[in-house]
Amino acid sequence: MKSAAAWLASATPEMVDEFLAGLSDEALMALPWLFEFWALPHQLPPEGAWKTWVIMGGRGAGKTRAGAEWVRSQVEGPRPLDPGQARRVALVGETVDQVREVMIFGDSGILDVSPPDRKPVWEATRKRLVWPNGAVGEVYSAFSPDSLRGPQFDAAWVDELAKWQKAQETWDMLQFALRLGTHPQQVVTTTPKNVGVLKAILQNPSTVLTQAPTEANKAYLAASFIEEVRARYAGTRLGRQELDGVLLEDAEGALWTTGGLEACRSRAPERLSRIVVAVDPPVTGHKGSDECGIVVVGAVTDGPPSEWRAWVLEDASVSAASPDTWARAAVAAMERHGADRLVAEVNQGGALVESVVRQVDPTVAYRAVHASRGKVARAEPVAALYEQGRVQHVRGLGPLEDQMCRMTARGFEGNGSPDRVDALVWALTELIVEPAAKWRRPQVRRL
């Protein structure tokens, strides 16, 4: 549902004049401070008796404004306490300086969003805010978890939890301190990162989540900023995390990591020795079926195998696809990239896989491959190529890379089957692993 401000922005001038004319002088003066009117959907508290509200978004998505406005609503709104007891709010950031400069004095901080008649006073020596109604906001640093031993609160705002060095210890101490009132609550505003404390919070049944990309707040961001960061980071895992606000998980002991994949990002050369499309077909083709992994990889195989390099060009995988649909998608990928062969795993479909492909294109260069070893055993030689810096990724491979970062020596730690990874492994096995094993340097035979 769009905000009232978004509706007003799309209204005709006559409608705007009519709306403003219908407001009293008091309502017109209060309108700039009525956050429910201006807020984006992800900035408004969800309904229900939640304990923790996590606002997870891209850079500039309006997380700080949402946190500051929520604190304001807590100290100005109805108090579920004894009539004589003022609200006590914990303001927790990575450092005291960051709490002060971002959460309190920042452009979207508490002081900035507070009306003049309800603006709190900053007491620097005591590191706290005091509101006219007696409510208090106390500042705490994640570098000192034990400072949260003793104090007690009925609300808390936690900022950028995912980058705290002592996140788990500080979070635990805060939970013991939230013990005032009838239903103490806390808000976490953070850019997502793959850290255990954040993942545990999100899995808690009492946690609610709202998410938004950077563009959700584009009306308040420089157009050049969005253009620049999208041009530089769109299609990368870093972009999905920092701009789209997506939590990217690396399984413990993963064969590939986010950092490693970001380091192997580059454009493919104009000339490639070979290009293949690899397919890992699903057993069935209904809504609940596994994906059909379709991955396009090209390689330069000049010189000895130690000098061979590969580029992953496209993840063309399809979901819940019928045999005809995935076969057409695979052939179309071949045509887009000028691939010289289609490689398909046939453990499940046997000769039917080739039959389906040839119904789409009878002349396609086709090779059937059989999985005689487990997924991990097949993936490990390919992972070694990445460690050696011999495989590069173009942008736009997010879903494939997500699967790769959940592939461990124990297996795949995720739902379903790693069909995209399987297709990638077959492609690189076809292009580099198997040819390298058969390669022999020419030698002159001595008589």
Radius of gyration from C-alpha coordinates of the chain = 28
Q: Where are the domains of the chain?
A: 1-38, 41-231, 258-438
Query: Which helix (DSSP H) or strand (DSSP E) does residue 212 occupy?
Result: strand 207-212
Which CATH number does 258-438 carry? 3.30.420.240
- Provide the whole-model pTM: 0.67
**pLDDT of amino acid 81:** 46
**Per-residue model confidence as pLDDT tens digits over 254-313:** 899 888 898 899 999 999 999 999 999 886 655 556 689 999 999 999 988 889 999 999
CB neighbour burial string for 337-360, b if at least 16 within 10 angstroms, e if fewer: bebebbbbbbeebeeebbebbeeb
Six-digit token string for 393: 């990724």
**pLDDT of amino acid 223:** 85
**pLDDT of amino acid 446:** 58
Q: What gap in Å lies between CA 106 and CA 79, rounded to an integer? A: 26
CB atoms within 10 A of CB 170: 26
209 touches 62 (CB < 8 A): no
**pLDDT of amino acid 411:** 85
Q: Which of 406, 54, 424 is nearest to 209 (CA)?
A: 54
**pLDDT of amino acid 80:** 47
Do domains 41-231 and 258-438 share one topology? The answer is no
Sign of the four-CA dihedral 271, 274, 280, 286: positive
Which CATH number does 41-231 carry? 3.40.50.300
Helix runs in 142-182, H state only: 167-177
Q: Which of 150, 199, 196 is nearest to 173 (CA)?
A: 150
Q: What gap in Å lies between CA 368 and CA 356, rounded to an integer? A: 13
Q: What gap in Å lies between CA 256 and CA 250, rounded to an integer? A: 8
Q: What gap in Å lies between CA 408 and CA 379, rounded to an integer? A: 10
**Ranges of the chain whose pLDDT falls below 50:** 1, 80-81
| Identity of the residue numbered 387 | E
